[in-house]
Structure 1
């Protein structure tokens, strides 16, 4: 299991491999018991993606599992597929690659000389449907000679930062001209802005205070948010950020 934190969202990615059809029922039961334990240990606030070879066919239609089967599967349902659907229903999960209408070559995950089936699946929480934009088999790429590459696209939006506003007065430095610059310089000299000795911090604070006082009178002031403009003796505001992060999971 892998834990990812993306844009303030915590995502748990679980890889699973169910026992093959020929193995006894006890092995299959133990597999789902172990998977149950893993999923139960994940907080409800975290998102889940389970991907793997479940060695079962969920069937072409939902047929009694409308809440977990999207109605776009492949083939006929078997016991292994029913076990997967029961598991998904118990944990309110959805089988992602049954939720998007696709052509056959984008549904079949296993193709041999004697059969073509759908046995590889992605599952996620029902409440997170909006994050998942697509899920399909990419026929041109094979992980092995028989298993096809199953791809799922998801989008996680980053939380928007609140726009910073300020009621503090801001000096209108944009009005600076050569004439006003000379006027400001003369006033600073008369105020003794550059005179002083001793502690460097005290000298800087005195000069900065004089500059703010004179500039406020010469250029004027205004109020409101001015983004990242820097003021003498102060910091800068942080600009608003927004956006989203897109990812692709493959099985």
Structure 2
């Protein structure tokens, strides 16, 4: 379920859908139906599976740090700093970009913060907690 999750633009809707799917999978693992009326907390206690929101957020945070620290000349770090051409914007709220939620935690200078592993790892807990508290 987490394959490629490092590249997701995390939104509350996406986290909600992932959690619903995870709960369905956990119920299937235990052979429990929704009609049995067993609470999600009890199902999670029985399966001892990590919350999908925590796992996805942690993977994305680690991947962002890895990409930014690369020095081998690949296009990953360059793509993070790329600014699209200016022109007419579409109507409505702009779609959430990949780095938007990282910037919310680490600030607009997150690329410089990621160069220092100590600082980056200390910010990881805050980032993961923001997605754990949703839903």
Interval of TM-score (by shorter of Structure 1 and Structure 2): under 0.3
TM-score (norm 2): 0.26
Work out which structure has the larger RCO, using CA pairs closer than 8 Å and 6 or more positions apart in sequence: 2
Larger-gyration structure (1/2): 1
